[in-house]
Amino acid sequence: MSVAQFTDFVKNITTENNNPASDSSGVGAELQKALTNLQGSPEEKIAKVAQELSKVAKSKGFDVSEADVSTYIESLKVQYELNPVIASLADTYCSTSCHFGSAVNAN
């Protein structure tokens, strides 16, 4: 299991078509279904997201564990907190086209 496999999975799903990861079919639909009704503390939500992303990644042939997803999310958080350029880019991206963010924050 590896974070690199999760990175490959993210690249794959965010470039699968012209409407990345938010389409009503394919991986987008699977992720939307899996990530609906997230409840609990932020930590519980992150654990649920890690569990579901790992499950979907595995179903698509990627060797990804929940720990890999959690490590990836934590690394993004650290980069965001420490690097203002990364924070600015992430804010711009997520406010315009981040479908993970919209799926997670929909509820």
CA 87 to chain centre: 17
User: CA angle 26-30-35, nearest 5°?
Assistant: 150
Q: What is the per-residue pLDDT for 25?
A: 56
Alpha-carbon distance of 20 to 71, in angstroms, equals 23
* 105 vs 73, higher pLDDT: 73
Residue 55, both tokens: 């499950």
Q: Count Cβ neighbours within 10 Å for each residue of 51-76 and write b for 16 or more, e otherwise.
A: ebbbebbeeeebebbbebbbebbeee
Q: What is the per-residue pLDDT for 83?
A: 93
Domain total in the chain: 1
* 26 vs 54, higher pLDDT: 54
Q: Residue 43 is part of which domain span?
A: 3-15+23-105
Alpha-carbon distance of 61 to 105, in angstroms, equals 27
| pLDDT classification of 105: cutoffs 50, 70, 90 | low
Alpha-carbon distance of 74 to 72, in angstroms, equals 5
Q: What is the per-residue pLDDT for 82?
A: 94
* 50-88 pLDDT, tens digit each: 998 899 889 889 999 999 999 998 898 899 899 999 889
* 5-25 pLDDT, tens digit each: 888 888 877 765 555 455 555
